[in-house]
Amino acid sequence: MAQLYVTNSKGGKELFSFRKVYESAKRVGASPTLAKEIAETIKREAFPGIKTSFIYKTVKKLLSKKVPKSALRFSLKSGMRKLGPTGFAFEKYVGEIFKRLGYKVKINQYLPGRCIRSYEIDFVAEKDKLIYIGECKYRNLFGDRVHSMDALANYARFLDILKGPYFKSTKYKNYKIKTIMATNTKFTSRALDYSRCVGIELLGWRCPKDKGLEYLIEKEKLYPITILPSLRGHLKDIFVSERIMLAKDVLRINPQKFAKKFKIPLKHFYLLIKEAKILLE
């Protein structure tokens, strides 16, 4: 059988991978039998040049017929991109993740440096005499990456803040101050190399290995509100304005009061609740 090439998100060609389709379905909860069935269906129906985005949609559709929860989990990466188009919602979401991990979190803070009077910081997280100066790198284009120049700028800013007056206070004498970059995508190899060398902590897709952002989300069930298919249009803006960033928080809201306050059809809100329950069961 001739080798089959598919078109990836960057427009390039790559070999079709049965294993990749199988593992992606299995990773979100499909049984080995179902994952194999889905991969075989994709292989059978695929054609030269088929887009990986079309393969993704087909896998999701096949999962939704058999395991709705897995289909929702399969949407995690696209759900993260829906936090855009700007990075503000992602900053709030990352802040919420750190809060659920036991940190005291402040978002959109200003810290002085030695050379520059004030830096805008996406978030500051504190726990057990450890402080993270956090920078969020949100990407809403499929396949986009965080590059070494982002890491270089992050570390230069961090060093200037450390030399500034804020952390020279005796209050922080026994604190460990670190910088961290969080992203909804991956880091380039050069960004990884530089960050490891100078000590920037990274949180992104499969980074750190086996304990990346998706691992934390799955382990703690910290799914973004945007993973719910029924959250469309202006609804996202309403939830973000109310600091409701997690799918699990939908289950804590009084449907009648919330729907009335923001003029949301009650049946639409109940649909969000239904999807959240499926995802979190």
**CA–CA separation, 214 vs 217, rounded Å?**
5
pLDDT tens-digit readout, 111-161: 999 999 999 999 999 999 999 999 999 998 777 899 999 999 999 999 999
Distance between start and end Cα atoms, the chain: 43
Burial of residue 89 (number of CB atoms within 10 Å: 0-12, 13-18, 19+): buried
β-partners of residue 183 are 137
Say if CB 212 and CB 245 are below 8 A apart: no
β-partners of residue 179 are 133
**CA–CA separation, 148 vs 116, rounded Å?**
22
Burial of residue 18 (number of CB atoms within 10 Å: 0-12, 13-18, 19+): middle
Listed in order, strand segments (DSSP E) in 128-272 are 130-137, 145-146, 176-183, 186-187, 201-203
Residue 82 pLDDT greater than 90, yes or no: no
pLDDT tens-digit readout, 9-57: 888 899 999 999 999 999 999 999 999 999 999 999 999 999 999 999 9
